[in-house]
Structure 1
Amino acid sequence: MGKRIAIAIDSLAGGGAEKVMLTLAKTLLELGHEPHFLVMHNNCSYTIPDGLKVHFCFDEKERNIDSFWRQKTSVQKLIKLVEQLQIRFGRFDLFLSNLDKTNLLMTKIGVSPLYCIVHNSIAEELKRQLKLGPFAYLNMLKAKKSLNGQHLITVSEGIEQEVLNSLQISPASIQTIYNPFNFDDILTLANEIVTGIPQVDYLIHVGRFAKQKRHDILFKALKLTRCNLPIVLLCHNKKKALKSAKKYGVEDRIILPGFQKNPFPWIKHAKALVLSSDFEGLPTVLIESLACGTPVVSTDCPHGPSEILTGNLAPYLVPRRNPTALAKMLDEVISRPPSLEQVDIFAKLDATLIAEQYLALAE
């Protein structure tokens, strides 16, 4: 008999957590189960799989739903919505909560079994937030503290070890379940014909324009490369990206098509994909690029890249915040690309295998 699973998340904007949860939902549908998305805000950049039930929890005018003064009202509204959904569709066998805002609310509504999925380095996110000031830091810390006493899923072994070694969070249980990937779907999408792909050799970076992604390091490295290739940036905020590129003197080498619902043809035709981040969880783009047959260069940031780039791919990890090392390895991957015939981690990422690991939580 199929399971009814609620997947709660902040929004369906173009981020990695949203993408992997949609892949999980699509796989659950194919296996005969009934996933429902509980989306806090109606902000959607992705194509919704056929048959997936999506419920938007709050109106656009309802802002700061996790703030101290609105939290009690938000929790009550969420409790009522879940009750209504269970009357209409039947009892949920499993609740999966994603991202800070959603975790803060879902951990207060009394549903079970509930698992919170940790997609990123908690320590690095808090460190980054502290630079924005005490108010921003305390807000995020409050969300992280909501994970205390909860059942946690981490998307990489690195994050699991970080939580276990943390003095700030004591989970009820913790285990790693890697992100799901449907490699057949990726290859099919990679072969689609799309307009705008450069007809010259190019590098590619896929990720939102955010401090975590360290476009400044990327642009400094680009300036130092000998290969002199342009780089395609698939990101939302084109204006900020271009302004930053101008600051580092590489605006003439930037190609900015913006966010793409199907990035795979762009990745497939690139000479290499580069990840310049300060921290990650299990960076989806590295796996997708390797699946498309495109080599990668990545910062050895916490967490995930070192679990993905093993064996003959390990040399393509470089120290984070080091544009000189990044530039050197970009030149290396262009002149001597590695064999991608054997990527060890692929066997652990099959979408059906991952879906079954999640379904086991409902037993």
Structure 2
Amino acid sequence: MKKLLIILHDLSAGGAEKMMMRLAAALVDAGNDVTLLLLTGGGPNAAHLDPRVKKVELRSPRTSRAVPALARFLRANRFDAQLAALTHVNVVAIAAAMLSGTLARLHVSERNAFSHDKHVNPDFMVRVAYLVAPLLYRLIPNPVICVSRGVAQDLVDTTIARHRDVTTADNPVLDDNFREKTPGLPSHRWLLEKSGAVIVAVGRLAPQKGFDTLITAFAALPDKGVRLIIFGEGALRVRLLEQALTLGVADRVDLPGYTHDPLAEVAAADCFVLSSRFEGSPNALVEALSTGTPVVATRCPHGPQDILIGGVVAPLVAVDDPIALAQAIAQQLATPRNLQRHERLEAAARFKNASAVQTYLAALLGSQTS
């Protein structure tokens, strides 16, 4: 049994936080002693943390001010491996590991396309973290764990990081028995009592997700009986609703907020669309594939091309091309639902907990896993 530590800022509703929780539970399933340390603490996902995972909250007022407390914790508690996630957390973890003498056991991970993600958060300290992170990535002894080959290549292409400074590990997105699970009932009325085809998308209402392009594409569909549901919250809610009104589709577009069971909603839909401008390894796309529902995705950097095997599993279209997106959606809606269902499930199976956790253990422990 190995003693492992995962370092996060908090357990907010983001995809990285959700994935680190899944990884922690999967590492416990693989026979390890796992602690999840939160630099600040709290967050809506905290209630869903596997009770077998030990939780520590430093309660720092800001992530950037957590270095001394984290250094003390690392000095007092020896772990076989330490894993930090998200760029600003990585920088804090590297500083604390250097102060505590545990840098040899620290691994950091990038969850998104670095060259795009660095422009998203306007916070000054986060911007500073993105400036210094690439230099630190060259200096630390262990390579940065990236969630996809595209994320790794982006880090090399757009920063001073070298190929030897990066490695990859798959996200543990799905339960091992996902094929045998029966999806729950959807909550949305359009999916419970369908009067026509329904398209579903899931994600933050933010520019990264490209929902403005999706709504434009939706308005261009020839079938005016189709409906669109976008599950998620974010700053663009009002703008997206105004766009739907301007395009004359407001009565067929709904933004109901977060859903507690996105798999149930996607499983009941006729098509899932990932319209993102950039990603790391989009977990929502993997989850959609696991339901067997037909999907369409943008060829965004990075992840969809890898997950969909270059378009073999499902259509890939250019980013910010609503006409191409509309054509791909219309094609999927006109195709028998079960065509290529097996291929979709096979593509999702790579991201089962048991499979993915082995790639993480190899990255974290190397020869220690034997």
Alignment TM-score, normalising by the size of structure 2? 0.84
Matched with 1:115 is 107
Give the Cα separation in 2 of the matches to 1:245 and 1:104. Answer: 38
Deviates more, 1:191-200 or 1:31-40: 191-200
Give the partner amino acid of 1:106. Answer: A
Query: Does the C-alpha gap of structure 1 residues 318 and 171 become closer, same or farther in structure 2, counting only changes over 3 Å?
Result: closer
What's the counterpart of residue 147 of structure 1?
137
3-state secondary structure, aligned to 2:272: strand
- Distance 1:136-1:10 versus aligned 2 partners, 3 A rule: closer
Cα distance 1:185–1:206, how it changes in 2: closer, same or farther (>3 A)? farther
In structure 2, the residue matched to 1:356 is 358
Q: How many angstroms apart in 1 are the aligned matches of 2:159 and 2:311?
A: 36
Residue of structure 2 equivalent to 1:75: 67
* Alpha-carbon spacing, 1:141–1:171, altered in 2? closer, same or farther (3 Å): farther
Deviation at 1:219, TM superposition (A): 1.5
Quote the residue 1:126 is aligned against: 118
1:34-113 matched pairs, under 5 angstroms = 34-46=33-45, 47-59=48-60, 62-63=61-62, 65-66=63-64, 70=65, 74-84=66-76, 86=77, 91-110=78-97, 111=102, 112-113=104-105
CA distance in 2, matches of 1:216, 1:31: 42
Q: Are 1:231 and 2:228 matched, yes or no?
A: yes
1:161/1:136 Cα in 2 relative to 1: closer, same or farther (>3 Å)?
closer
**Percent of aligned positions that are identical:** 26
Q: What amino acid does structure 2 have at the position aligned with 1:216? A: D
Q: Are 1:10 and 1:41, in contact at CA under 8 Å, matched by a contact in 2?
A: yes
Partner SS for 1:329: helix
- Number of the residue aligned with 1:254: 253
Answer yes or no: is 1:215 the counterpart of 2:211: yes
Pairwise CA distance, 1:279:
0.6
Q: Which runs of 5+ in 2 are unaligned?
A: none
Task: Say if 1:322 and 1:135 are closer, same or farther in 2 by CA, change over 3 A.
Answer: farther
Residue by residue over 1:86-138, the C-alpha shift from the partner in whole angstroms, topping out at 9 and shown as x without a partner, is 1xxxx211111100221110011122311111111111223556xx6999755
In structure 1, what is the Cα distance between the partners aligned to 2:333 and 2:343?
19
Per-residue deviation, 1:315: 5.6
| Contact 1:98-1:118 at 8 Å conserved across structures | yes
8 A Cα contact 2:176 2:354, kept in partner: no
Contact 2:212 2:243 in 1 (8 A): no
How far apart are residue 242 of structure 1 and its match? 4.1
Aligned to 1:158: 150
Match in the other structure for 1:26? 25
Range that drifts further, 171-180 or 115-124: 171-180
Say which SS state the counterpart of residue 138 (structure 2) adopts: coil
Deviates more, 1:185-194 or 1:145-154: 185-194
- Aligned CA RMSD, in angstroms, stands at 2.6
Deviation at residue 241 of structure 1 after TM alignment: 1.7
CA contact (8 A) 1:147 1:171 kept: no
For 2:305, what is the secondary structure of its paired residue?
helix
Counterpart contact for 1:119–1:154, Cα < 8 Å:
yes
- Does the 8 Å CA contact 1:290/1:296 hold for their aligned counterparts? yes
2-side partners of 1:188 and 1:259: how far apart? 25
Structure 1: unaligned runs, 5 residues or longer: none
Q: Which structure 2 residues correspond to residues 274-353 of structure 1 after superposition, within 5 A?
A: 274-310=273-309, 313=312, 316-336=315-335, 337=337, 338-343=339-344, 344-353=346-355
Alpha-carbon deviations, 1:276-304, whole Å to 9, x = none? Answer: 11110111111111111111111100111
8 Å CA contact 2:8–2:37 kept in 1: the answer is yes
Letter matched to residue 91 of structure 2 = L
Mapped partners of 1:146, 1:190: distance in 2: 45
Query: How far, CA to CA, are the matches of 2:17 and 2:120 in structure 1?
Result: 21
When residues 355 and 320 of structure 1 are mapped into structure 2, their CA distance, relative to the original with a 3 A threshold, is same
CA–CA separation in structure 2 for the residues paired with 1:260 and 1:34: 31
One-letter amino acid of the structure 1 residue matched with residue 214 of structure 2: L
Alignment CA distance shift 1:168-1:253 (3 Å): farther
Q: Deviations over 1:114-167 (max 9, x none)?
A: 1111111111223556xx699975553234544332321111111222223344
| TM-score, normalised by the number of residues in structure 1 | 0.85
Structure 1 residue identity aligned to 2:209:
K
What's the CA shift for 1:50? 2.5
Amino acid at match of 1:227: D
Amino acid at match of 1:120: N
- The one-letter code of the counterpart of 2:107 is Y
